[in-house]
């Protein structure tokens, strides 16, 4: 039964047509496949100046680099008179073996392969009456230039970032990791989008079990289009019913390569300027990219600050509600009197005040994100200062509640991972409600539920609470809060089950 008691209709079938395109590989059939496509181009050319020997050159405008087609295909095809004096079969073999000046050439015999090559930026050369084609890689390299990372600011590290072009991202990875053990395996996901997805790992270091499991999960994705990050994340993670992130993402190639060197498996997707790393445990989402560039003592202190801010953003509103409503004896007398005096004319309960301001904080944050950058900053300032001050002066909320919510919100901004920050915001609401219902007992019950939920999560066989939890019944060591000096950090994390744990002398 569905919502309102209606019977739920069974899911319609989702058949896969193989082959995708039927018919012979000819110029006429390709024209039918790309009918009503203004960017589809077909040009008849002579081979070696012999008018009796003609071929069809087919390409999609915008996907190919015109200079390459002219210089590498058309020019030698027209100027090589020897090709014109040969028969079609001999000329075909000559062009396939290097008579044309292109770096790579493939022979295609099916319509599916030819259509996919055209969309990828290749141009096809066909002789009339022959159901095969030569495919030349003449794709354009127009893309967004490599720039500074926008969301992961680099202070002392590299300043390049991933872009939407997959081959550019793999080249950035190889520039940071120049070892021949770097492996890149590609799969195509999405029936309509045909999106290339690359798995990246270091052979001999990454766990073969994790590599094979990730390959299997990507192969099992059967959707129409892979265009967004969620189209991949929600299909490869171990648990869907959780707001906590189970795979780590980054826009910085240096951080991505560091994860590969640790023994993780990376994922790169065409059209998405991010790299994913699996498995991901909770400590990964509390480490900033520059932690390894800072002095080890400074990095350790900053990590401790982030863990404290995690507790503050999660528990401060709930603890405030519990103390004011159920445990006023926990508040110092002078502070309690000040809070009571400020709340004297406020018509709402403490719980309602907290929930109201938390909701307003979320609305302001969404408004700041969705509007253009200059306007978004103005909205955030107006909402935080003007509306907040006006609400206090109008006796709608008390000043103490405004301070509590502001401190909790600012503490949440210290999280390096926005996915983790979003999960904490959800649990912050739940803990505040439990505190309003049962005081500190409700907070402890919510804490027990949260710990139980986190303890039940796994990411590709790794316990999410590593190193606080055991992996496969074995407790593993780890420095999740304090960072060791790098010369003393001799081994890779045990939970990754790497082939070679030793990473330095």
pLDDT above 70 as % of the chain: 93
CA–CA dist 174, 183 (Å, integer): 10
Please state whether 487 falls in left (phi above 0), alpha (psi between -120 and 50) or beta: alpha
Quick one: tokens of 287? 């480490």
pLDDT at 470 over 70: no
DSSP string covering 261-322, please?
HHT-EEEEETT---EEEES--GGGGG--GGGGTS-HHHHHHHHHHHHHHHHHHHHHHHHHHH
Q: Supply angle C-alpha 365, 366, 369, rounded to 5.
A: 90
Please report the pLDDT score of residue 306 as a whole number.
Answer: 93
Per-residue confidence (pLDDT) for residue 148, from 0 to 100: 82
Whether the Cβ atoms of residue 171 and residue 143 lie closer than 8 Å to each other: no
Nearest to 153 by CA among 251, 238, 235: 251
Mean pLDDT of 403-427: 91
Residue 455 has pLDDT above 80, yes or no: yes
Sign of the dihedral defined by the CA atoms of residues 377, 379, 384, 390, in that order: positive
Backbone angles phi, psi at 411, to 5 degrees: -60, -35
73-100: average pLDDT: 84
How much is the average pLDDT of 106-113? Answer: 91
Higher pLDDT, 208 or 377: 208
| More confident call, 338 vs 183 | 183
Let me know if 234 is exposed, middle or buried by CB neighbors in 10 A (0-12, 13-18, 19+).
exposed
Measured CA to CA, the distance from residue 187 to residue 141 in angstroms comes to 21
Burial of 222 (0-12, 13-18, 19+ CB in 10 A): exposed
**Phi, psi (rounded to 5 degrees) for 307:** -65, -40
34-52 pLDDT tens trace: 999 999 999 998 888 888 8
Higher pLDDT, 404 or 379: 404
Q: How many CA atoms lie within 13 A of 207 on its CB side?
A: 17
What is the distance between the alpha carbons of residues 379 and 377, in angstroms, rounded to a whole number? 5
pTM: 0.86
CB 74 within 8 A of CB 45: yes
Reading the block at residue 232, the tokens are: 């991949």
| Angle at the Cα of 309 from the Cα atoms of 487 and 303, rounded to 5 degrees | 5
Task: Look at residues 47, 155, 143, 28 and name the one whose alpha carbon lies nearest to residue 95.
Answer: 47
- How would residue 310 be classed by pLDDT, with cut points 50, 70 and 90? very high
Residue 448's pLDDT band (boundaries 50, 70, 90)? Answer: very high
Cβ 459 vs Cβ 279: under 8 Å: yes
pLDDT band at 82 (very low <50, low <70, confident <90, very high): confident
Beta-carbon contacts of residue 200 (< 8 Å; ≥ 6 apart): 170, 173, 182, 183, 184, 260, 265, 266, 267, 268, 275
| Structure token pair of residue 253 | 């190639």
Place of tokens 């200079």: 67
**CA–CA distance, 136 with 378 (Å, rounded to integer):** 52
Which position has the token pair 């050439």?
105
Beta sheet of 50-60, edge-to-edge order: 40-47, 50-60, 122-126, 133-137, 105-108
């Amino acid at each position: 039964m569905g919502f309102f008691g209606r019977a739920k209709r069974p899911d319609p079938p989702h058949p896969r047509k193989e082959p995708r395109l039927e018919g012979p590989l000819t110029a006429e059939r390709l024209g039918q496949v790309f009918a009503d496509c203004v960017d589809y181009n077909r040009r008849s050319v002579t081979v070696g100046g012999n008018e009796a020997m003609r071929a069809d050159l087919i390409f999609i405008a915008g996907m190919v680099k015109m200079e390459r087609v002219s210089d590498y295909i058309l020019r030698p095809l027209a100027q090589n008179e020897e090709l014109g004096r040969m028969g079609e079969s001999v000329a075909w073999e000559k062009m396939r073996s290097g008579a044309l000046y292109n770096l790579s050439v493939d022979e295609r015999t099916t319509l599916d392969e030819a259509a996919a090559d055209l969309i990828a930026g290749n141009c096809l050369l066909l002789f009339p009456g022959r159901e095969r084609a030569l495919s030349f890689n003449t794709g354009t390299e127009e893309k967004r230039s490599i720039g500074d990372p926008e969301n992961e600011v680099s202070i002392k590290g590299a300043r390049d970032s991933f872009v939407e072009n997959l081959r550019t991202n793999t080249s950035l990875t190889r520039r940071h990791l120049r070892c021949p053990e770097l492996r890149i395996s590609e799969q195509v996901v999405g029936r309509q989008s045909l999106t290339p997805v690359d798995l990246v790992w270091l052979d001999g270091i990454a766990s073969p079990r994790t590599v094979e499991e990730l390959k299997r999960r990507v192969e099992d994705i059967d959707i129409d289009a892979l265009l967004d990050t969620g189209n991949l994340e929600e299909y490869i993670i171990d648990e869907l019913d959780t707001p906590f992130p189970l795979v780590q993402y980054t826009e910085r190639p240096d951080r991505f390569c560091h994860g590969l060197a640790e023994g993780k498996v990376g994922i790169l997707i065409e059209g998405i300027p991010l790299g994913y790393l699996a498995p991901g445990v909770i400590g990964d989402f509390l480490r900033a990219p520059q932690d390894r560039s800072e002095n080890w003592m400074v990095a350790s202190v900053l990590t401790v600050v982030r863990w404290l801010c995690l507790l503050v953003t999660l528990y401060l509103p709930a603890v405030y509600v519990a103390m004011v409503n159920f445990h006023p004896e926990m508040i110092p007398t002078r502070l309690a009197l000040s809070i009571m005096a400020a709340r004297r004319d406020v018509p709402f309960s403490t719980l309602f005040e907290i929930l109201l301001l938390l909701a307003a904080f979320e609305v302001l944050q969404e408004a700041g994100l969705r509007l253009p950058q200059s306007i978004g900053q103005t909205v955030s300032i107006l909402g935080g200062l003007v509306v907040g001050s006006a609400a206090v002066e109008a006796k709608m909320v008390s000043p103490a509640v405004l301070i509590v919510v502001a401190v909790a919100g600012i503490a949440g901004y210290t999280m390096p991972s926005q996915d983790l920050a979003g999960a904490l915001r959800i649990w912050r609401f739940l803990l505040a409600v439990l505190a309003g219902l049962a005081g500190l007992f409700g907070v402890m019950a919510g804490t027990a539920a949260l710990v139980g939920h986190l303890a039940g999560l796994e990411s590709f066989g790794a316990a999410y609470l590593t190193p606080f939890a055991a992996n496969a019944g074995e407790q593993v060591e780890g420095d999740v809060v304090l960072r060791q000096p790098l010369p003393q950090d001799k081994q890779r994390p045990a939970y990754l089950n790497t082939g070679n744990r030793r990473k330095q002398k």
